[in-house]
Structure 1
Amino acid sequence: MDISHLIHMNTNFPKSFAWILGLSIIIAFAVFSYSFYSARQLDNSLSVTGSARKQVVSDSVKWMSGFSRTVLQQDLKSGYAQMAKDQAIVTKFLQEKGIADSEINISTVFMGQNYYYDKGASTPKEYNLNQTVEVKSSDVQKITDIAKNIQGLIDQGVIFSTQNLEYYYSKLSELRVSLLAEAMKDAEARAKSIVESGGAKVGPLKTASMGPVQVLSVGSQDVMDYGSYDTSKIDKDVMVTVRAAYTIK
């Protein structure tokens, strides 16, 4: 066997291994550097939220109310007759207050039986007769005042009940467009205040998405993920938010 040949192989093996190892390190470093550079390029943006808010006054109102009678089974006929009289009284009352017929909607009579489980089977059946009254109007203040003063109906023997009024703003679609533009300006201003403090500049807009419209009580921060519409107050705040991403230069 040629011993000198084996010795020659053993001395060359470490050199070959070192050369391969060094080349691998260089390639790995190059790949890492490129990946890091690419990641910096892909992440060279800033996302901010902008908002705009404006106070508005409701221009329409919905008033839900109703009247009722409770009668025994044998008195149903007279009960329905009394409901007809009550309806005439309610209609006249609203008309005299200046509410137009086109703004008034009175439902048909709904009848429901009352059940008393602590009474015997011989107890006469008792029924509730109900009608709902819906008033929709653009005269917000007039309807608000009328709803607060229904004593005239009570004085005439009508068993009348009223619910909370609901106030709406009809120009929400138009307002949303102008608020969106203001919200975008706010988002850009926020981006500049963040970026320019670090010596960079805000570049072109990359993406933008609009959040749900929030109709809130004045000064409220009770926003919801899917939007909200507070109907309890005449005065409202309408708020729009946008999420914008800008390129950083």
Structure 2
Amino acid sequence: METKFPKSFAWILGLSIIIAFAVFSYSFYSARQLDNSLSVTGSARKQVVSDSVKWMSGFSRTVLQQDLKSGYAQMAKDQAIVIKFLQEKGIADSEINISTVFMGQNYYYDKGASTPKEYNLNQTVEVKSSDVQKITDIAKNIQGLIDQGVIFSTQNLEYYYSKLSELRVSLLAEAMKDAEARAKSIVESGGAKVGPLKSASMGPVQVLSVGSQDVMDYGSYDTSKIDKDVMVTVRAAYTIK
């Protein structure tokens, strides 16, 4: 026996098919639109010369417990010698910071309990200056302090560039131009065109030794060299026409 469907059912079925096709077409078009973009990375780099330096150093004495009083007196004499040495080299008082005396006991576990207690007395010297070359030259020649009996030790100098904020702005603009140029190079080779910018984000500033590629995800700041490369990267997404 032949089954007959009412005309209203056929009408509803047809309308449902049309709606489903329309929804599918719109979803397919939207997906195509979402994929119709290109993300590229742009970068800009500039070499700069450090305009400030930090020099950390120190002097010390090792004394027995019964000689602590004379040890502190000797540290005061050493401090006066150090300050005079730095001043004679042209370093201003405002650029010199000397800590108080730190005292720490030396422990010798292979010796008996009757061994006299021994202490290290030390002070740190910090010099901050904008005269980078002068401080560099002084730090390389501390023989004058050694000749006067000061037990003086020096650490690596740290070099900084103070105008990073201003430089970052100009490098950011250059990095965006680089990103757009890269996008055009990729897209136009396939016959398409780069459309408006959809989004952009800036990576951390990288302060590197000259020519270095040792970048870090969270940024880096190399303080070991006077000459530096400052690099900025951007991530940009463009629509494709």
- Aligned equivalent of 1:6: none
Q: Distance in 2 between matches of 1:14 and 1:221?
A: 75
Using the TM superposition, give the Cα deviation of residue 28 of structure 1 relative to its aligned residue in structure 2, in angstroms: 4.6
Using the TM superposition, give the Cα deviation of residue 42 of structure 1 relative to its aligned residue in structure 2, in angstroms: 2.3
CA offsets, 1:162-182, max 9 Å, x none?
Answer: 000000001111000000000
Residue range with higher mean Cα deviation, 26-35 or 221-230: 26-35
Q: Distance in 2 between matches of 1:42 and 1:71?
A: 75
Residue range with higher mean Cα deviation, 68-77 or 22-31: 22-31
Using the TM superposition, give the Cα deviation of residue 62 of structure 1 relative to its aligned residue in structure 2, in angstroms: 0.2
Paired residue secondary structure (1:198) = coil
Using the TM superposition, give the Cα deviation of residue 30 of structure 1 relative to its aligned residue in structure 2, in angstroms: 4.0
Residue range with higher mean Cα deviation, 68-77 or 12-21: 12-21
Q: Distance in 2 between matches of 1:135 and 1:75?
A: 30
Q: Whose Rg is larger? A: 1
Paired residue secondary structure (2:46) = strand
Q: Distance in 2 between matches of 1:206 and 1:15?
A: 50
- The correspondence for 1:12, drawn from 4, 29, 32, is 4
- Aligned equivalent of 2:103: 111
Q: Distance in 2 between matches of 1:159 and 1:20?
A: 98
Paired residue secondary structure (1:12) = coil
Identity %: 98
CA offsets, 1:91-113, max 9 Å, x none?
Answer: 11111111111100000000000
Q: Distance in 2 between matches of 1:42 and 1:94?
A: 65
Using the TM superposition, give the Cα deviation of residue 131 of structure 1 relative to its aligned residue in structure 2, in angstroms: 0.1
Q: Give the alignment's TM-score, normalised by structure 1.
A: 0.90
CA offsets, 1:41-80, max 9 Å, x none?
Answer: 2222111111000000000000000000000000000000
What 5-or-longer segments of structure 1 have no aligned partner? Answer: 1-8
Q: Distance in 2 between matches of 1:216 and 1:115?
A: 42
Using the TM superposition, give the Cα deviation of residue 10 of structure 1 relative to its aligned residue in structure 2, in angstroms: 3.2
- Aligned equivalent of 1:229: 221
Q: Distance in 1 between matches of 2:196 and 2:38?
A: 11
What 5-or-longer segments of structure 2 have no aligned partner? Answer: none
Q: Distance in 1 between matches of 2:43 and 2:21?
A: 45
CA offsets, 1:168-222, max 9 Å, x none?
Answer: 0011110000000000100110111111111111111111111100000000011
Paired residue secondary structure (1:116) = coil
Q: Distance in 1 between matches of 2:222 and 2:36?
A: 40
- The correspondence for 2:135, drawn from 130, 133, 143, is 143
How many residues are treated as equivalent by the alignment?
A: 241
Deviant stretches of 4+, over 3 Å:
9-31
Q: Distance in 2 between matches of 1:42 and 1:33?
A: 14
Q: Distance in 2 between matches of 1:58 and 1:213?
A: 16
Using the TM superposition, give the Cα deviation of residue 32 of structure 1 relative to its aligned residue in structure 2, in angstroms: 2.7
